[in-house]
């Protein structure tokens, strides 16, 4: 089951406070964005990666793709002021009518198992997001006073990838732009446009690298995955 993926990587990484776009920060000697792209390079269902970059970083991203032999990166598209506009530029560059995934360049730990479950469901219902049940108690707060404790059974933390039939996401982005509607994810535009969005339960390790602490968590996840791979190799021998 084939799909294309749009990877928005045109942010500034302000909350990371690294003095540069966090996509270029290294984890085990490789830039963050390379880790993310690699997950899709390894997936036989992925036929094309559209990378979205800041205008002044397009060349650097193209060089990364060459250096790290990321052969599925077919184009590097210029991003916009907001994540939503970056994603729209990526989606507008796609023509064929397959399933399209939108995945944050800053989420390097997505797994093929989750991607495949997502793509299968998107084929069926047209719009799906990866999500995990919240672990904390969530309260609505106004002026530093609790207004209400929300029912945790109904609350999910939304991640990427989010998968759509191309026509569904193109229409939602187009209408949102016309109405000046800005969402923090792409599924919210599809919901707003009147389309049902399904959920696929994902993994807590699919973190978005946002603040310096996340680099520590990322190192721990990489270590755990390496150990798991070593164990699997030993069992095979």
Task: List residues near ligand LQXTBERG by CB under 6 A.
Answer: 83, 104, 158-160, 184-185, 208, 210
Q: Are 6 and 100 in contact (CB under 8 A)?
A: yes
Residue 13 binding target from ligand CTP, ligand LQXTBERG, none, CB below 5 to 8 Å by type: ligand CTP
Question: 199, 156 in Cβ contact below 8 A?
Answer: yes
Q: Which is nearer to ligand LQXTBERG, 63 or 204 (CB)?
A: 204
Tell me which of ligand LQXTBERG, ligand CTP, none is bound by residue 170, counting a contact when its beta carbon lies within the kind-specific cut-off of 5 to 8 angstroms.
Answer: none
Nearest to 92 by CA among 79, 110, 104, 81: 79
Task: Return the sign of the alpha-carbon dihedral for residues 112, 20, 217, 130.
Answer: negative
Identify what 174 binds: ligand CTP, ligand LQXTBERG, none; CB under 5 to 8 Å per kind.
Answer: none
Judged by beta carbon, residue 20 or residue 66, the one nearer ligand LQXTBERG is 20
Q: Which is nearer to ligand LQXTBERG, 135 or 228 (CB)?
A: 135
Q: How far apart are CB 85 and ligand CTP at their closest, in Å? A: 7
Of the two residues 13 and 31, which places its CB atom closer to ligand LQXTBERG in the complex?
13
Residue 75 or 157 having the CB closest to ligand LQXTBERG = 157
Taking the C-alpha atoms of residue 22 and residue 4, their distance in angstroms, rounded to an integer, is 24
Q: Are 130 and 200 in contact (CB under 8 A)?
A: yes
Which chain residues interact with ligand CTP by CB under 6 A? 8-15, 22-23, 52, 79-83, 86, 104-106, 208, 210
């Amino acid at each position: 089951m084939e799909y294309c993926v749009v990877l928005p990587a045109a942010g500034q990484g302000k909350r990371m406070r690294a003095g540069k776009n966090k996509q270029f920060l290294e984890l085990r000697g490789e830039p963050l964005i390379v880790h993310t792209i690699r997950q899709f390079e390894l997936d036989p269902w992925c036929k094309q990666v559209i990378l979205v970059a800041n205008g002044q970083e397009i060349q650097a991203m193209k060089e990364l793709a060459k250096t790290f032999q990321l052969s599925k990166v077919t184009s590097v598209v210029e991003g916009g002021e907001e994540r939503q506009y970056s994603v729209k530029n990526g989606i507008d560059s796609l023509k064929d009518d397959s399933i399209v995934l939108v995945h944050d360049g800053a989420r390097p730990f997505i797994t093929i198992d989750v991607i495949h479950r997502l793509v299968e469901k998107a084929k069926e219902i047209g719009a799906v997001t990866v999500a995990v049940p919240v672990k904390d108690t969530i309260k609505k707060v106004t002026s530093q006073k609790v207004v209400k404790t929300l029912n945790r059974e109904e609350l999910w933390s939304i991640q990427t990838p989010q998968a759509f039939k191309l026509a569904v996401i193109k229409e939602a982005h187009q209408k949102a732009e016309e109405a000046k509607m800005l969402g923090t994810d792409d599924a919210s535009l599809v919901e707003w446009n009147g389309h049902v969005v399904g959920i696929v339960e994902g993994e807590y390790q699919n973190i978005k690298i946002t603040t310096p602490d996340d680099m520590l968590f990322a190192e721990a996840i990489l270590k755990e995955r390496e150990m798991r791979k070593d164990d699997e190799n030993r069992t095979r021998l």
